[in-house]
Amino acid sequence: MDQLVAPWRIEWVERDDDPDGCPFCVLPERSDAREANVVAAADRAFVLLNNYPYNPGHAMVIPRAHTGAFTDLDEATLLEHARLKQRTIEALEAALDPDGLNAGLNLGDGAGGSVDDHLHTHVVPRWTGDTNFMPVCADTKVIVEAVDDTYERLHEAFAEQPDTTVADSGAVRIDL
């Protein structure tokens, strides 16, 4: 049996599940953005660090509108979602200096996402060689930085962008 020790994950395992609905609707409403992993927010969308990252810096840009259908988003939400993706890419590049990025949506149950009724765009930093012998030979992905540390670096990069303030919740407020 393969074992990978990750003691920092116990906080996630022992958390109180929020039975009050969709996590992407509940998380941005929490009073402590840091605890919720909400790094930045605008009026119609926000940026959330993924609790199960593919790589350090794996962020999601999420419209506040609860829908799984991309075609349901109104024009203002589409524009803000796109602009927030741009700002997320800029922040990730400034904070983590990746060699590239993967960005995309999982639309519908068959697309493989774990939350299919509230669309979200994944933005995943990539580095040359980040797929190495571990996933190929050992079927194990090593995440080299804790989500908490990545949050701090990305939060700082968002805060340094123009037209931003830090909200009472702690998230960087972006005026798009």
* Marked catalytic residue, from 81, 118, 120, 155: 120
List the structure tokens of 119.
Answer: 């669309």
Contact 80, 56 (CB under 8 A): no
Determine the Cα–Cα distance for residues 75 and 127; give it in Å rounded to an integer. 34
120 is catalytic: yes
Place of tokens 């969709």: 22
Beta strands at 172-174 and 38-41: parallel, antiparallel or unpaired: parallel
Q: What number of residues does the chain have? A: 176
List the structure tokens of 117.
Answer: 């009724």
Residues with catalytic annotation? 120
